[in-house]
């Protein structure tokens, strides 16, 4: 007896017929997955748009280093206040714990500091290093200032010195290739830790 041939399925009258989905209309290449992950940082738009940047070189033209001392420490991210200078968290840090030492006076050049300002400027740099070592035990530091826009100063009209803690391996593919810095702690939290550990407060 010959084998029975399979019979084709009969359509179900109670089920609507299947229709082939139309091809999606999209721009060429849109929504095509690639090999990259995404790290969304919408807070960086403030930096990109230049929000908070001075409108001019004068002290009353939106200088953030003149405005910060008029605020409460928590609101201005101020770590410590001296008689002539103060320490403040960098709003756009290179590393977690990046501190700036600023004179209260609105001046652009290191040579414009008075002897008393120079002495306290140096003293506050030392205190920043000590506080950072106490709080986070960095392996080293980058310390320095950029005098003039051509030298890389973001806010050239108001002198400020960078105190940047460094750890072995902190320069990895994220800042080098991805142009993104990953910071493990919020600025407000770092500020409080450093303020609490500030020598001679």
| Residue pLDDT, tens place only, 86-109 | 999 998 888 889 999 999 999 999
User: Who has greater pLDDT, 152 or 127?
Assistant: 127
The edge-to-edge listing of strands for the beta sheet with 99-103 is 78-81, 85-89, 99-103, 161-166, 140-144
Residue 65 phi, psi dihedral angles, 5° rounding? -80, -15
Average pLDDT for 178-198 = 76
Cβ pair 164, 95 in contact under 8 A: yes
Q: In the prediction, which pLDDT does 20 show?
A: 57
In tens, the pLDDT along 50-91 reads 555 666 666 667 899 999 999 999 999 999 999 999 999 998
Size of the chain in residues:
201
Ranges of each domain in the chain: 42-197
Confirm whether 98 is a catalytic residue: no
Residue 186 scores a pLDDT above 90: no
**What percent of the residues of the chain are helix, what percent strand, and what percent coil, each to the nearest 5?**
30, 10, 55
pTM: 0.70
Catalytic residue among 98, 158, 160, 162: 160
Q: What integer best gives the mean pLDDT of the chain?
A: 80
CATH class of the domain defined by 42-197: alpha beta
């Amino acid at each position: 007896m010959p084998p029975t041939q399979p019979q084709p399925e009969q359509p179900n009258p109670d089920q609507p017929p299947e229709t082939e989905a139309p091809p999606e209309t999209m721009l060429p290449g849109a929504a095509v997955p690639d090999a990259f992950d995404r790290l969304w940082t919408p807070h960086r738009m403030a930096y990109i748009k230049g929000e908070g940047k001075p409108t001019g070189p004068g002290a009353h033209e939106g200088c953030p280093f003149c405005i910060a001392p008029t605020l409460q420490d928590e609101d201005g991210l101020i770590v410590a206040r001296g008689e002539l200078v103060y320490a403040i968290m960098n709003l756009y840090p290179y590393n977690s714990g990046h501190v700036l030492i600023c004179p209260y006076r609105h001046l652009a050049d290191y040579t414009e500091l008075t002897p008393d300002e120079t002495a306290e400027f140096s003293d506050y740099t030392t205190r920043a290093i000590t506080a950072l070592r106490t709080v986070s035990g960095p392996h080293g530091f980058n310390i320095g200032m950029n005098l003039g826009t051509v030298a890389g100063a973001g806010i050239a009209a108001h002198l400020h010195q960078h105190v940047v803690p460094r750890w072995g391996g902190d320069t990895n593919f994220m800042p080098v290739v991805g142009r993104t810095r990953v910071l493990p702690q919020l600025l407000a939290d770092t500020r409080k830790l450093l303020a609490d550990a500030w020598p001679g407060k």
